[in-house]
Amino acid sequence: MIKITILWISFSAPQGIFKPLYPCFSMEVVIVSHDTNSGSIINQNPAMKRFLNELEVKKSGIRMLLEEALEKSGGIMRLAPCWVPRSFLHPGGRLKLHPSDIYAYGLDRGGIDERWFASTTEAANEGREPDEGLSYVVLEDSRVTLKQAVEELGALMVGKEIWEKYSRWPVYSKFFDNMGPIPLHMHQSDQDAALVGQEGKPEAYYFPPQHNFVTNRFPYTFFGIDPGTTREDLIRCLERWNCGDNGILALSRAYRLEPGTGWQVGTGILHAPGSLCTYEPQWGSDVFGIYQSLVEGREVSWSLLVKDMPPERHRDLEFIAGQLDWESNADPFFKQHHFLKPVVDQENSGPGFTDRWVCYGSFTGWQPFTAKELTVEPGVRCVIRDRGAYGMITVQGEGTMNRLRISSPSLIRFGELTDDEIFCTARAAQEGVVFENGSGREPLVMLRYFGPEVNPQAPEISPSH
């Protein structure tokens, strides 16, 4: 008896004037088998759910489900892809999201140009969905947000030190991927963000080669301002906001971006990220202020400059200019103090596997996060011990991580579940996680990021790196 399996996927566009949850995305999946002996069509229910919306949202009995899942997996949790749109940017097409799904939230919301990893931080987007920016833990037939999981299990998830100090997972990472540059902007310091009840947002960049097979339109990033630039120079640019291009890029400096390297960006530093797909560990906040009025011919609203400033200060140009860290912006040795080259962690590397620091260094004496890139060669099995919990994304190859399969997909439909993203609990990380590359030819490559003050042994930034 021969059976032929057919996968039929049909799509439908929104109808009428009503706006459903995801107005530009509707998918029906029908799996059937054809039995050549009887000529009949037999419906097949797949053993595993394929899409997030097929999983029940659990609101009770969560702790028991999570503990059972951790026992089965070896202390790790599978996460569903978390897609985030930005209305003022042009997606770059390297996130592996199906081209038909880039505007799955609707044209008015903008294209999806970000994927967030192990996030308990809500996206600060106008008109956002209730769970936008929040990662989901995938259980057998159900799901809970990672935020719920952390609240339920506390120190078991994130580690005693982080739980006692923050009572949450206070960091996240993302890919952002754009066709051109992002407008020149900064992220507020803790002091300035506190004025609107928020937290500051330091961040770092790494440009994974696997997601940068093309560099798109502008592989350069503007950082800081030229030494000698005055506050009055910047205020004059703000005064010209409605005159077209306010000319603020003329006060900054551009640097060519290199796949396989990165940058560290503190709060209050102006930056206009270029068009490489970027892995970006950061503090769990989404505050920003855009100081550029026009990018690639697209208008930037004044509201995006002042969205995280007190309302009474929205036209106070002195105050707006004062939110910048002028000393760091005008640093004549900016590249030497912020450029990141990968550094091999010799203690966590061995025959057939290499662990590299890709985001490291402190921010005025504080380490909010770190990130590493682990490469496991074909056929190699290794045990990696870390000091704390981490979020992990697989960017190349396939294999296993403890008792879960991991693989980097070629193409992802919006809402589809994948095997590429994992949250590793603090306990599992400290006991050691087994990675195995079952391929005979392709390396297994993963990026993972850690929480605050977890890796005091990480290198500091220096020109020698």
- Domain identity same for 274 and 333: yes
Closest CA to 451 of 331, 334, 333, 359: 359
Final residue before a domain boundary, out of 288, 308, 339: 339
Looking at the structure, tell me whether residues 232 and 381 fall in a common domain.
no
The H-or-E segment that residue 306 falls in is helix 303-306
120-143 burial, b if ≥16 CB within 10 A, otherwise e?
Answer: bbbbebeeebeebbbbbbbbeebb
For the segment 178-210, what is each residue's pLDDT rounded down to a tens digit?
A: 999 999 999 999 999 999 999 999 999 999 999
| End-of-domain residue from the set 339, 359, 391 | 339
Q: 72 lies in a domain?
A: no
Final residue of a structural domain among 285, 318, 339:
339
Q: Are 329 and 419 in the same domain? A: no
Query: Is there a single domain that holds both residue 151 and residue 187?
Result: yes
**434 and 384 both lie in a single domain:** yes
Does one domain contain both 8 and 156? no
Q: Band of the pLDDT at 426, cuts 50, 70, 90?
A: very high
Is there a single domain that holds both residue 111 and residue 240? yes
Residue range of the domain that includes 18 = 3-43
**268 and 349: one domain?**
no
Q: Are 175 and 315 within one domain? A: yes
Confidence (pLDDT) at 48: 73
We report the CATH number of the domain holding residue 398 as 2.60.120.10
What does residue 235 show for φ and ψ, rounded to 5 degrees? -65, -35
> 317 with 348, same domain?
no
**What pLDDT does 47 receive?**
58
122 compared with 13, residue with greater pLDDT: 122
350 in the same domain as 309: no
| Same-domain check for residues 260 and 311 | yes
Residue 71 lies in a domain: no
67 within some domain: no
| Residue 240 pLDDT exceeds 60 | yes
Residue 435 within any structural domain of the chain: yes
**Domains of the chain: total:** 3
What pLDDT digit, counting tens, does each position of 132-163 carry?
Answer: 999 999 998 999 999 999 999 999 999 999 99
Q: Are 372 and 457 in contact, with CB atoms under 8 Å apart?
A: no
